[in-house]
Chains A and B, each alone.
Chain A
């Protein structure tokens, strides 16, 4: 069965420091991978997605992610974190069997930014 693991529940970084959020997936074929961000009290917003091609994907707000098939990983990175990046981040994989473009989401990583 498809699954997504985000091993870090909480991460704290200082403003200006680099960031890496981990995502590991289990999927039987070539996956479609997504990173979403959720600010407090808000819905989820897409940061970036990987379907095929270049394994380094650029997204919004200065984020990037690298697909590593050999490690079944899709880690999210940012070179310099801003205080406004404090939020919860979700990794997702799809499509799931049965149609409907369904995704499986990880349990999320809560990012805290220290000023």
Chain B
């Protein structure tokens, strides 16, 4: 049981390049999330999904797109990377519960945009 995995672990992009971050979970969770973590700002929600084929905007969605074609995978795309998108990106998943279930986090992807 691997939990939540993220690919890649590190990436360096030039301004204007595109890339996709992959998140996979093997816990059969309905909900999945993408966060970015910046110093002094905690975790901020980029996009989230409440099930296969659904996505929704979070707190800071601009410049990102997401897709959830399969229940176990949640992809985060940067179409034209900017230096402001230099950050550590975390994926998380959660189960349906009477209230918010615990979110399980991946190990993160450190992205640098030059």
Residues of A that sit less than 8 Å from B by CB: 9, 32, 34, 36, 41-46, 49, 51, 90, 94-95, 98-103, 105-108
* Contact residues of A: prevailing secondary structure: loop
| B102, A49: Cβ atoms closer than 8 Å | yes
Binding site of B, secondary structure by majority: helix, strand, loop or mixed?
Answer: strand
| List of B residues within 8 angstroms of A46 by Cβ | 102-104
Question: What range describes how many residues of B lie at the interface?
Answer: 20 to 34
Closest A residue to B108 by beta carbon equals A43
Contact call A107/B41, Cβ cutoff below 8 A: yes
Min CB gap B63→A, angstroms: 20
Instruction: Give every chain A residue within 8 A of B94 (Cβ-Cβ).
Output: 101
A103 and B100 form a contact (CB under 8 A):
yes
Name the distance in Å between A15's Cβ and chain B's nearest Cβ: 26
Cβ < 8 Å to A, chain B residues 58-114 = 58, 90, 92, 94, 96-97, 99-108
